[in-house]
Chains A and B, each alone.
Chain A
């Protein structure tokens, strides 16, 4: 494990409705440079809130969050967001902007020259495996779900961030597309040396893509570790979350003996 955490949560808390709903409760968590962390939990577990605290889409009530060693509460939230990539559920693309317009948005906000943005858009389309001649000028509603999410990933990467936050990025896709996109992203993560935090409710996806998995429940960080470390965890809820991928693996192993487990 590399020594410097790129994102560091220290005793972070956040509640809504004047304290009636506690979304994140005293969470401490370090994400190392180059790490791919998945945060797993049911709805209402606080995982989305935890993610958004990092780029100040939501402000923390308690504790401290540091990004690249700097306390985020002392940074301009607008500038902070521009240097962190963010992939939204269902893409979150701007319906009135073309694929190129969507991808180039953060560089445009940062004031890059027009030609540089255009070159970067083509580079990113290639990176997420979309043919640039064919897709560049299309509007989001003309794309398939998988293509939209590829554009969403390209947009997050446009301004060359070191950190990418992903909010259930592949949740709404069909299994095949989802698998291909997950693998492609994992490759990008490695090749570009990114630090990624991905939210998902799917433990199988988390185990397959991430280096470490954090399990959230009721706003608390219940467990954190590699697949092997989680398997050794004695918590009942963690065990329950692991049961599905285990059973799937066993059944698939039995059904597909030559290919081994998926």
Chain B
């Protein structure tokens, strides 16, 4: 426990846990609100019942992460419609998509168990209910639901555990959760964070499950005390997570970060600069790269670092490649049309680069991507989750006529070790990555300029257009972070010790590049 990463993890707990509980409880409540009446309506209608269960099963087969990610563009489209037609908009970021996706996810066990429980009631008992003069509604509330309760509660408890577990995946769509520990920990190789996040989520799931069991037990034995205790426990849990949120001063500035180490460090650096200037700030780290730009445009986050080539190719769908300065100025104009400020460059480039071990490259006489072409057919290549679907890859393949024997996707932090150990022959790495030096790797030259420039640039949201306080706080960082400093910072952050937390590395980086 002497490791400062534990105390750092603990410091985040009220925020992460609180958000996690709120989003899980809201999703579960919404799920129940929809599923229970649906199950009751469907119980005597075989066609509807089949359709509902089928639909819920299909939803269940969609991976949790994909389901969450799907809701973001869906809501974004919806908010565009409501803005145009009804004159109001809502945030498609974070809480709302997470709640909707998780609620959908919770439906199957609740639907299935409620229908099973209700149809499992002895027909003789139903007949008796009718015979003593109950209306269909009275039969439902006085006989069928009480008898189906144990099976229904089992479903609700399953749903609760699923939702709490899956809620950890809502981090990339901007909902803070216990998943923040896991995503950040995986990216920065901070296993303390990963363990802490898993452990906290598991404990939360167990606690909620036990409270629901207590409620169930109380209802079954008609013990008001036990049912009330369980209900009170859950209410207390929600209240406990609300209090710190209310007490905490509302942060005015939100710094965003994508899901890799460098982004965690840079967002921490910007947050520290803003705090130092007396501007209350939080970070929303671990956002998917398709989510983060829209979140900035919508004003859900205020500032983040992106890369010129990424925006050029992915956001604005250009396939041509321009010289560095021209691309930047073009980008600035395009962004200004959306009222987004390209505030400036940080001073380094984080481009994609094909990377292989220096020793092997020398043996084979490979110095540039062109040299690789004759060897590619016998080689395997690994890239991050998005690389092979990015236009750059298509560009590289086209410019150099590359066809590899096999291609694999990998967690970015693992692929350097993979190429160093010979598990794969080439990787699509990042020029600013500290691991290139650590593993004695070399980046292959791109003589035909197939890979666009990737200057790290600071973007400001429309509402920060004229925010001089913000600009003044961040201006000292612009142009100061060279490739060597960034590589070293990234290397430090990928270490697995106490000084490798993004906050600590950001402080180190500021020491190094900041004004003396």
Asked, given contacts A57-B127, A88-B128, whether A94 binds B135 with beta carbons under 8 Å apart, the answer is no
- The smallest beta-carbon distance between A229 and chain B, in angstroms, is 31
Q: Could you say which residues of chain A place their CB within 8 Å of the CB of B125?
A: 92, 94-95
Q: Could you say which residues of chain A place their CB within 8 Å of the CB of B122?
A: 95
- The smallest beta-carbon distance between A191 and chain B, in angstroms, is 23
Q: What CA separation (Å) do A88 and B123 show in the bound complex? A: 12
Nearest B residue to A165 via CB reads B131
B131 touches A105 (CB 8 A): no
Q: What CA separation (Å) do A240 and B132 show in the bound complex? A: 36
Q: Could you say which residues of chain B place their CB within 8 Å of the CB of A155?
A: 132
Binds B, one of A76-84, A125-133, A208-216: A76-84
Q: Could you say which residues of chain B place their CB within 8 Å of the CB of A93?
A: 128
Q: Which of B130, B133, B143 contacts A94 (CB 8 A)?
A: B143
Given A78-B134, A79-B133, A94-B128, 18 further pairs, Cβ under 8 A: A55-B131, A57-B131, A78-B133, A81-B131, A82-B132, A82-B133, A86-B132, A88-B128, A92-B125, A94-B125, A94-B129, A95-B122, A96-B146, A96-B147, A106-B132, A106-B133, A109-B132, A109-B138
Q: Could you say which residues of chain B place their CB within 8 Å of the CB of A57?
A: 127, 130-131
Task: Tell whether B247 is near chain A: CB-to-CB under 8 Å.
Answer: no
Q: Could you say which residues of chain B place their CB within 8 Å of the CB of A78?
A: 133-135
Q: Which of B124, B133, B146 contacts A109 (CB 8 A)?
A: B133
Nearest B residue to A80 via CB reads B133
Residue in B128, B131, B138, B143 with the greatest tally of chain A CB atoms within 10 Å: B131
Q: Could you say which residues of chain B place their CB within 8 Å of the CB of A92?
A: 124-125, 127-128, 131
B124 touches A81 (CB 8 A): no
Interface residues of A in 150-169 (CB under 8 A from B): 155
Q: What CA separation (Å) do A57 and B130 show in the bound complex? A: 7
Q: What CA separation (Å) do A90 and B128 show in the bound complex? A: 11
The total of chain A residues at the interface (CB under 8 A) is: 20
A105 touches B135 (CB 8 A): no
A→B interface (CB under 8 Å): 55, 57, 78-79, 81-82, 86, 88-90, 92-96, 105-106, 109-110, 155
A105 touches B146 (CB 8 A): no
22 contacts between A and B (CB under 8 A): A57-B130, A78-B133, A79-B133, A81-B131, A81-B132, A81-B133, A82-B132, A86-B131, A89-B124, A92-B125, A92-B128, A94-B128, A94-B142, A94-B143, A95-B122, A95-B125, A106-B132, A106-B133, A109-B132, A109-B134, A109-B138, A110-B133
- The smallest beta-carbon distance between B28 and chain A, in angstroms, is 26
The binding surface of chain B is classed by DSSP as helix
* Binary CB contact string for chain B from 355 to 381 against chain A (1 if under 8 A, 0 otherwise): 000000000000000000000000000
* Binary CB contact string for chain B from 140 to 154 against chain A (1 if under 8 A, 0 otherwise): 001100110000000
Q: What CA separation (Å) do A109 and B146 show in the bound complex? A: 17
- The smallest beta-carbon distance between B117 and chain A, in angstroms, is 13
Q: Could you say which residues of chain A place their CB within 8 Å of the CB of B147?
A: 95-96
Q: Could you say which residues of chain B place their CB within 8 Å of the CB of A86?
A: 131-132
Q: Could you say which residues of chain B place their CB within 8 Å of the CB of A94?
A: 125, 128-129, 142-143
Nearest A residue to B146 via CB reads A96
Q: What CA separation (Å) do A11 and B232 show in the bound complex? A: 61
- The smallest beta-carbon distance between B154 and chain A, in angstroms, is 17
Q: What CA separation (Å) do A110 and B130 show in the bound complex? A: 14
Nearest B residue to A155 via CB reads B132
Q: What CA separation (Å) do A92 and B122 show in the bound complex? A: 10
Q: What CA separation (Å) do A89 and B127 show in the bound complex? A: 11
A105 touches B124 (CB 8 A): no
Q: Which of A89, A96, A105 contacts B132 (CB 8 A)?
A: A105
- The smallest beta-carbon distance between B221 and chain A, in angstroms, is 10
Q: What CA separation (Å) do A66 and B146 show in the bound complex? A: 36
- The smallest beta-carbon distance between A159 and chain B, in angstroms, is 8
Q: What CA separation (Å) do A60 and B143 show in the bound complex? A: 27
Nearest A residue to B133 via CB reads A82
Q: Could you say which residues of chain A place their CB within 8 Å of the CB of B133?
A: 78-79, 81-82, 106, 109-110
- The smallest beta-carbon distance between B135 and chain A, in angstroms, is 6
Q: What CA separation (Å) do A81 and B133 show in the bound complex? A: 5
Q: Could you say which residues of chain B place their CB within 8 Å of the CB of A106?
A: 132-133
- The smallest beta-carbon distance between B126 and chain A, in angstroms, is 10
Nearest A residue to B130 via CB reads A57
Q: What CA separation (Å) do A90 and B147 show in the bound complex? A: 18
Q: What CA separation (Å) do A88 and B142 show in the bound complex? A: 19
Q: Could you say which residues of chain B place their CB within 8 Å of the CB of A109?
A: 132-134, 138
- The smallest beta-carbon distance between A243 and chain B, in angstroms, is 33
Q: What CA separation (Å) do A204 and B122 show in the bound complex? A: 31
Q: Could you say which residues of chain A place their CB within 8 Å of the CB of B142?
A: 94
Please name the 5 residue pairs, one residue from A and one from B, whose CB atoms are nearest each other, closest first.
Answer: A82-B133, A92-B128, A81-B133, A86-B131, A96-B146
- The smallest beta-carbon distance between A11 and chain B, in angstroms, is 25
Nearest A residue to B134 via CB reads A109
* Binary CB contact string for chain B from 103 to 128 against chain A (1 if under 8 A, 0 otherwise): 00000000000000000001011011
Nearest B residue to A159 via CB reads B133
Q: Could you say which residues of chain A place their CB within 8 Å of the CB of B129?
A: 94
Q: What CA separation (Å) do A117 and B134 show in the bound complex? A: 17
Residue in B122, B125, B133 with the greatest tally of chain A CB atoms within 10 Å: B133
Residue in B132, B135, B142 with the greatest tally of chain A CB atoms within 10 Å: B132
- The smallest beta-carbon distance between A82 and chain B, in angstroms, is 3
- The smallest beta-carbon distance between A97 and chain B, in angstroms, is 8
Asked, given contacts A96-B146, A109-B138, whether A90 binds B124 with beta carbons under 8 Å apart, the answer is yes
Q: Which of A88, A90, A110 contacts B131 (CB 8 A)?
A: A88
Q: Could you say which residues of chain A place their CB within 8 Å of the CB of B130?
A: 57, 81
Q: What CA separation (Å) do A23 and B125 show in the bound complex? A: 23
Q: What CA separation (Å) do A81 and B132 show in the bound complex? A: 6
Q: What CA separation (Å) do A222 and B318 show in the bound complex? A: 92
- The smallest beta-carbon distance between A27 and chain B, in angstroms, is 21
Q: Which of A82, A88, A95, A96 contacts B127 (CB 8 A)?
A: A88
Nearest B residue to A110 via CB reads B133
Q: Could you say which residues of chain B place their CB within 8 Å of the CB of A105?
A: 132
Q: What CA separation (Å) do A95 and B147 show in the bound complex? A: 8
Q: Could you say which residues of chain B place their CB within 8 Å of the CB of A90?
A: 124
Q: What CA separation (Å) do A55 and B128 show in the bound complex? A: 13
Residue in A86, A94, A106, A155 with the greatest tally of chain B CB atoms within 10 Å: A94
Nearest A residue to B121 via CB reads A95
Q: What CA separation (Å) do A94 and B129 show in the bound complex? A: 8
Q: Could you say which residues of chain A place their CB within 8 Å of the CB of B124?
A: 88-90, 92
